[in-house]
Structure 1
Amino acid sequence: MAALAFPDPPLTDGVVLLRPWRDDDAAQRYAGFADELCQRFSWSRVEPVTEADVAGAYARDERARLAGESLNLAVADAARPERVWGAASVYDVAAAEQRAAVGYWVAPWARGRGVATRSLRLLAGWAFDVLAVQRLELTCGPDNAASARVAQRCGFVREGVLRSHIPFKGARRDTMIFSLLPGELLLS
């Protein structure tokens, strides 16, 4: 599979900017992802995330990008691109099936501003246009009401619950699954 290219120019709506991660983002990436909500909903391991986990993410992200499997982007303030607000990714890219998944997390200092919704709209539009996917999937825990609202604001349709879907924090967790097809993306 071919490597996934970073969007060039980076994706932006004038408020959020989706750009490649930089080495000097590490402290913000750790601080944002180490937050209680990110750990509750997005970190599957029992032990908390460490700075070493974040440092290792750069190499894992690049290997997955070069393999054509995923693309992980920093979500930054468009006016001050050095300020990281979170992350957005397209992953589980199955080019032959024209399918992929999307995900995101938002740092506590950026919540309540529509950052996740804006980021998801940009990334979904890019996935349809550039990756030519015909189906985007989004998953979240059944108790993650905020993430479900973001998905629905963008036009994703809730398809159901995958019971005992993934290993999560030493047990198994159910997962809500949403999908978005071409022409369904809501831009407002």
Structure 2
Amino acid sequence: MPALEFPDPALTDGLVTLRPWRESDLERRFEAFSDPLCLRFSWPLTGTPSLAHVRERFAAQEEARLSGDELPLAIVDAEDHLWGGCSLYDFAPGEARASVGYWVAAGARGRGVATRTTRLLAGWAFEHLALARLELVCEPANVASQRVAERCGFVREGVLRSHIPFQGGRRDSVIFSLLPGELLTSTALEVR
């Protein structure tokens, strides 16, 4: 698959902006992602994350973008404060399918950031990548992510048992799907 190009211009709804990661973001990314909630639901390894892990992930994501496997983006506010990260990944081009994922820094939670991010990314993916299906998976105890999926119009399909390797074992995942025309685009949520 060819390299995935970053949205140009950056995706924004006026409050949330999705832009390419920069090397200058890495320390802020490490600090934000080191939050216990991010580690509980999004950190797949058993050890404690380090700045070296973040640098390795940054490089791996760029390689994945160039090979057409992942499109990673930083979530920032209008003043470029880092609010989290998101990506399109698990591309299956022959099936016109991909997955969407995100994490939100502690200081940005409870403001609709994940919902706005998912709406922006899903709308762009359907329009510019001609996807026929977008998936969202999360840990069954991650109720906040399940609510984000539902607010965006994703339909819960079930639980994938022993779905992925996670923190030294295996983890179940709740799977949601979204098809073209199903995205709920209400912007009633306010970022404070």
- Count, aligned residues: 186
Local SS of the residue matching 2:137:
strand
Local SS of the residue matching 1:183:
coil
Shift of 1:113: 0.7
In structure 2, what is the equivalent of residue 148 of structure 1?
A: 146
| Alignment deviations for residues 121-141 of structure 1 (CA, whole Å, 9 cap, x no partner) | 000001100110000000000
In structure 1, what is the equivalent of residue 29 of structure 2?
A: 29
1:52 aligns with 2:52: yes
In structure 2, what is the equivalent of residue 130 of structure 1?
A: 128
In structure 2, what is the equivalent of residue 3 of structure 1?
A: 3
Shift of 1:161: 0.2
In structure 2, what is the equivalent of residue 111 of structure 1?
A: 109
TM-score by length of 2: 0.95
TM-score by length of 1: 0.97
In structure 1, what is the equivalent of residue 39 of structure 2?
A: 39
CA–CA separation in structure 1 for the residues paired with 2:139 and 2:22: 29
CA–CA separation in structure 1 for the residues paired with 2:13 and 2:57: 26
Shift of 1:95: 1.4
| Alignment deviations for residues 76-100 of structure 1 (CA, whole Å, 9 cap, x no partner) | 00x202x110011000111121000
In structure 1, what is the equivalent of residue 190 of structure 2?
A: none
In structure 1, runs of 5+ residues without a counterpart are none
CA–CA separation in structure 1 for the residues paired with 2:104 and 2:58: 18
State percent identity of aligned pairs.
Answer: 63
Which portions of structure 1, spanning 4 or more consecutive aligned residues, are displaced by more than 6 angstroms?
Answer: none
RMSD: 0.7
CA–CA separation in structure 2 for the residues paired with 1:56 and 1:164: 26
In structure 2, runs of 5+ residues without a counterpart are 187-192
1:121 aligns with 2:119: yes
| Alignment deviations for residues 27-52 of structure 1 (CA, whole Å, 9 cap, x no partner) | 11001111100000001111121110
Shift of 1:173: 1.0
